[in-house]
Every structure is written in C-alpha cells, then in structure tokens.
C-alpha cells in the first residue's frame, strides 16, 4: 500500500518542476521527488524480500522482550513505553507478512485452510505464553526463564522465516 500511495503521489509531483514559479521551488520539488522515489523503491524491494522484512520484525520483537527483561534492573517510566512501541512495531510488521509468505509456498484452493490453521496455532501460542510465564514465575520466583523462552521462540521464528526465503529463492532459480 505504501508503494502504491507513493507512486500516485509521484505521478502528481512529477509535473511540479514544470509548474514551478521560482527556481528554488523547482529544486525543493526535485528533492521531494527524490525522497518519494527512494520510499517507492524501498516498498518495492520489501515486497520482493518480504522474508528479510519479516526477520527485521522478529528482531524488533526480540528486542522488545530484551527491553522488558531489563526493566527490573533499571526501572524507568519510559522503558515500558519503549517495550510497547517495539512490540507493536514488530508485531505489525510480522502479522501482515505471514499470509503473504504462506501464499508463496501454498497458494491454491487450500490456502485459506492452511493460513487459518497457522493463525489458530499462533493464537494458541499467544494464549499459552502468558499462562506459562505466570506458572514459571510462580515456580521460580522470576520471569527470567519466561523471557529466555520468548527470545528463543523469536529466534526460531526468525530461522523459519529465513528457511522460507531460502526455499522461495531456490524455487525461483529452477
């Protein structure tokens, strides 16, 4: 969507230097065009390299777990907001890419069922995670093990995303 919106903005702005009344206005419009063109290229590259964007999102979510784990050592009012922003950003990146990544490997009449089962498993993990963290806290008196498990799950998700990329690239080379 970002690339499409950028492209429509570019088509409007591409005519701006011709309509400029002052040379400085033409230069400023040219700068805006250059920035929009970079964003457009980045959006197109992200579409082709979705697994790399997914890995970045997973990395952001692992960073959010690390921020939350560090909170007891340095309790600062802004730290919990940092965790929330990192988690929201990482989740928004990964949640939107998972169906697209699944469609790369499993498109066809059963795509909906495959994505549905995957999203149901994701929801089950999201429900089990807090319960398990609470149980581990009751058992050990600390959230440290829960944070380690959450980080390990993030690394496993990143490894799965990388494997998906390797398989997609190999299939494209055949």
Series of mean pLDDT values for 10-residue runs along the chain (174 residues): 38 43 55 52 58 91 88 76 87 86 84 91 90 94 92 92 87 83
> Do 58 and 23 have their domain in common?
no
Predicted pLDDT of residue 6? 37
Residues 41 and 56 in one domain: no
Confidence (pTM)? 0.66
Provide the domain count of the chain: 2
pLDDT for the residue numbered 82? 83
Q: Residue 7's domain spans which residues? A: 1-48
pLDDT for 19: 47
Distance CA 159, CA 32 (A): 38
- Do 29 and 55 have their domain in common? no
Q: Are residues 67 and 37 in the same domain?
A: no
- 4, 83: one domain: no
pLDDT given for residue 29 in this prediction:
55
The per-residue pLDDT for 3 is 38
CA atoms in the 13 A half-sphere facing the CB of 57: 21
Do residues 5 and 53 both lie within one domain? Answer: no
Are residue 89 and residue 123 in the same domain, yes or no? yes
pLDDT at 33: 52
Residues 89, 140, single domain; the answer is yes
User: What Å distances lie between residue 9 and 5, 35, 125, CA to CA?
Assistant: 6, 11, 41
Both 78 and 39 in a single domain?
A: no
Answer yes or no: do 44 and 112 share one domain: no
Looking at the fold, whether 33 and 61 belong to one and the same domain comes out as no
State residue 17's pLDDT score.
45
Residue 35 and residue 148: Cα distance in Å, rounded? 40
At 133 the pLDDT is 93
């Amino acid at each position: 969507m970002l690339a499409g919106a950028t492209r429509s903005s570019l088509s409007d702005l591409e005519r701006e230097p011709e309509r400029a009344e002052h040379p400085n206005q033409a230069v400023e419009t040219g700068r805006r065009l250059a920035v929009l063109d970079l964003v457009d290229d980045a959006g197109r590259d992200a579409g082709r390299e979705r697994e790399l964007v997914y890995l970045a999102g997973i990395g952001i979510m692992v960073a959010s777990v690390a921020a939350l784990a560090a909170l007891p050592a340095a309790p600062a009012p802004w730290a919990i907001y940092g965790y929330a922003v990192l988690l929201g950003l990482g989740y928004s990146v990964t949640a939107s890419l998972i169906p697209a990544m699944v469609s790369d490997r499993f498109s066809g009449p059963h795509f909906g069922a495959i994505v549905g089962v995957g999203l149901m498993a994701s929801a089950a993990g999201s429900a089990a995670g807090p319960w398990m963290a609470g149980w581990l806290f009751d058992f050990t008196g600390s959230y440290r093990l829960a944070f380690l498990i959450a980080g390990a799950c993030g690394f496993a998700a990143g490894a799965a995303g990388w494997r998906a990329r390797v398989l997609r690239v190999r299939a494209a080379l055949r």
